[in-house]
Amino acid sequence: MLPAEIAQAVKRIQFVTGRHVSDVMAGAYLSVFKGRGMEFDEVRPYVPGDDVRTIDWNVTARTGEPHVKRFVEERELTVMLLVDVSASQDFGSGRRSKLEAAVELSALLAMSAVENGDKVGLLLFHGGADLYIPPRKGGKHALRVVREVLSRGQTKAAGLRARATLLELPRAIRSWWAKLQHKTSGEPRRSTSISAALEFCRQVLPRRAVLFLISDFLDEGYLQVLRHANRKHDVVAALITDPREASMPPAGLVTLEDAESGKTRLVDTRSAAFRKELAQRATTRQTELKDQLRATGMDLIVFDASESMVDPLLRFFRERERRLRR
């Protein structure tokens, strides 16, 4: 995609998602992700009625007068978008691919966050960290996030951006990320490693954040890392699906290729047994993923790449708000 085409696509997404954000999304987002917890504000002299548990004994000893710590509600959130750009995300049987659906979802979340005054950051990942944009505020920054997700297909440009973005990381993390990039750079295809993405976030996000993990979750062995990440952060899993992953028309003999491994398989799509197995596998995969995440206290939102991104997101916001009120 050429730079002019990317700019045009960003404007189109900004127009479409901007209306949703201003009309319904921002309010729903705010009601669910209000700031969490309390953060330190100042130390002030003790007055009768203050909770003795808030006394700052160091300041009290230094001044000879009792002082207490004052805390305020933490209003500002950090929202991190972890977007899977592995090869399987390029698949799409309808009007758009799973990756294109992920772009629109990312735009909705990024613009809802900045509308609420929160910081938003981006991590594109496949077999390792592909591109990292540190969390910041502002509409221009949100548009940069959208632009980078759109333009990730430019392999050479992505490599240049990755090297440039490396300079934005803390010094202690640069060598670790460089090794990770070198380790995965020889992969002929963009396989998925959710564990690597979560480990990267552990390194670069010292404070609690809301992590939206946007992927088709065609990966294994990441659940333990996901559990650890959810203890520190608020992780929301966004599963992007395609209708052809659950059903296929009877088109005769078809050679199917795994987008990430390259393995092929000849199937007879006219076979009722094959179509039944395909539907059962898709249903089982979603059910198992939902049960596994629920056991760790995580939310799962399922998006159909051929349908609206807004409706499932609003249902999630409303359901989560109801749970918070209980």
In a shared domain, residues 67 and 122: no
Give the global pTM.
0.74
In a shared domain, residues 53 and 97: no
Q: What is the pLDDT of residue 302?
A: 96
Q: What is the pLDDT of residue 199?
A: 93
Q: Of 235, 287, 295, whose CA–CA distance to 82 is shortest?
A: 235
In a shared domain, residues 121 and 235: yes
Q: What is the pLDDT of residue 325?
A: 72
What SS3 class is residue 304? strand
In a shared domain, residues 20 and 125: yes
Given a cut of 50, the residues of the chain with pLDDT beneath it are 2, 153-174, 176-177, 180-188
Q: Of 185, 184, 164, 167, whose CA–CA distance to 175 is shortest?
A: 167
Query: What is d(CA 298, CA 278) in angstroms, rounded to the nearest whole number?
Result: 27
Q: How many domains does the structure of the chain reveal?
A: 2
Q: Of 86, 24, 81, 121, whose CA–CA distance to 211 is shortest?
A: 81
Q: What is the pLDDT of residue 155?
A: 42
For 241, residues 6+ apart whose C-beta sits below 8 A from its C-beta are: 98, 216, 282, 286, 302, 303, 304, 305
Give φ, ψ of 298 to 5 degrees. Answer: -100, 150
CATH code, domain carrying 94: 3.40.50.410
- 28-48 pLDDT, tens digit per residue, is 766 676 555 555 667 889 988
- 255-291 pLDDT, tens digit per residue, is 888 888 888 989 999 999 999 999 999 999 999 999 9
In a shared domain, residues 175 and 213: yes
Sheet holding 78-84, edge to edge: 129-136, 119-125, 78-84, 210-215, 234-241, 299-304
Can you give the residue range of the structural domain that contains 90?
3-34+76-325
In a shared domain, residues 222 and 152: yes
Residue with tokens 């009120």: 325
Q: What is the pLDDT of residue 189?
A: 54
